[in-house]
């Protein structure tokens, strides 16, 4: 998957994953406090933040595999830092990344508007919820309650991953550090198109 990538792209994917692995771990603490008060539904409100690196990496690099790999690497780095959830985190990360990747693949990696990014966040929400349903045994809970959890996670995925991810990346783009990546190529093409 990475054989055609430039080394700089791979390392950028890794540093994005490092920064967001730290953010993710911070949010695990927030989630734990919320879950302590509300039970497992406490995580759902902020679940989207755990998909954000997929959106950002794919939006910058615009390559097949960017969403899946960045999330997987972020999960691996969380384990390297020493998160107590251990190897399960890598599996959940792969499943979350696959959800976003599927949405980008459906657009053939050609559309990068806000709606696509929000849909990708929701894609991660869907796959991660199916996995969570199995591994956490939601079958024992009231279906209405589980539906509520799922709805919150979908909204959270769209907003905290899709919307926030686009907002952050666009801010990052303005600093000029992304000028040699696919995002700049597409954005410049669009602005030339307008000028002529």
Partner 1 sequence: MWLHTINPSVKMITILLTIIVLALFLDPVLYLVFWLGIITITFTLSKVSFKIWALLTAPFVFMAIGYVWTAMLFPNEALLADEQMLFEWGWLRLTEESLARSAGLGMRVIVFSALSLLFVLTTKPVLFMLSLMQQLKVPTRLAYGVMAGYQFLPLIKEEFQIMQRAQQIRGVGRPRTLKERVRQWKSFIIPLLASAIRKAERTAIAMESKGFTGEARTHWYTEIPLRKRDGLFVCLLAGLFFTAYAASAVL
Residues that bind partner 1 in the complex, under the rule CB under 8 A: 1-3, 5-8, 10-19, 22-23, 32, 35-36, 38-42, 69, 73, 76-77, 79-88, 90-91, 134-137, 139-145, 168, 171-172, 175, 177-178
- Rank residues 94 and 100 by Cβ distance to partner 1 and give the closer one: 94
Roughly what angle, to the nearest 10 degrees, separates helices 164-174 and 52-61? 40
Question: Closest approach of Cβ 79 to partner 1, in Å?
Answer: 7
Please state the closest distance from residue 194 (CB atom) to partner 1, in A: 26
CB of 148 to partner 1, least distance (A): 9
Which of 1, 106 has the CB closer to partner 1?
A: 1
* Residue number with CB closer to partner 1 (5 or 102): 5
For the CB of residue 96, give the shortest distance to partner 1 in the complex, in Å.
Answer: 16
DSSP category for residue 142: -
> Toward partner 1, which CB reaches closer, 15 or 106?
15
Provide the minimum distance between the beta carbon of 181 and partner 1 in the complex, in angstroms, as a whole number.
Answer: 9
Distance CA 53, CA 196 (A): 35
Quickly tell me which residue has 């406490």 as its tokens.
42
Task: Please check whether residue 9 is in contact with residue 61, taking contact to mean a CB–CB distance below 8 angstroms.
Answer: yes
Please, what is the minimum distance in Å from the beta carbon of residue 47 to partner 1? Answer: 15
Closest CA to 51 of 117, 3, 145, 105: 117
Nearest in space to 187 (alpha carbons), one of 72, 59, 80? 59
Q: How far apart are CA 137 and CA 97, in angstroms?
A: 22
Q: Which phi-psi region, left, alpha or beta, contains residue 67 (left: φ > 0; alpha: ψ -120 to 50)?
A: alpha
Q: At what angle do helices 7-38 and 66-81 cross, to 10 degrees?
A: 60
Nearer to partner 1, 43 or 119 (CB): 43
Cβ closest to partner 1, residue 84 vs residue 195: 84
């Amino acid at each position: 998957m990475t054989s055609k990538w430039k080394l700089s792209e791979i390392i950028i994917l890794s540093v994005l994953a490092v920064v967001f692995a730290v953010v993710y771990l911070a949010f695990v603490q927030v989630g734990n406090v919320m879950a302590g008060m509300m039970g497992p539904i406490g995580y759902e409100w902020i679940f989207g933040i755990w998909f954000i690196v997929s959106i950002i990496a794919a939006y910058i690099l615009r390559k097949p595999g960017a969403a899946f790999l960045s999330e997987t690497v972020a999960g691996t780095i969380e384990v390297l830092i020493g998160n107590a959830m251990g190897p399960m985190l890598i599996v959940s990360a792969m499943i979350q990344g696959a959800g976003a990747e599927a949405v980008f693949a459906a657009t053939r990696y050609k559309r990068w508007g806000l709606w696509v990014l929000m849909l990708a966040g929701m894609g991660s929400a869907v796959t991660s919820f199916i996995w969570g349903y199995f591994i956490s045994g939601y079958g024992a809970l009231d279906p209405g309650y589980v539906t509520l959890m799922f709805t919150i996670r979908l909204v959270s995925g769209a907003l905290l991953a899709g919307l926030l991810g686009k907002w952050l990346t666009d801010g990052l783009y303005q600093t000029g550090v992304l000028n040699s990546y696919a995002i700049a190529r597409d954005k410049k093409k669009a602005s030339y198109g307008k000028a002529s």
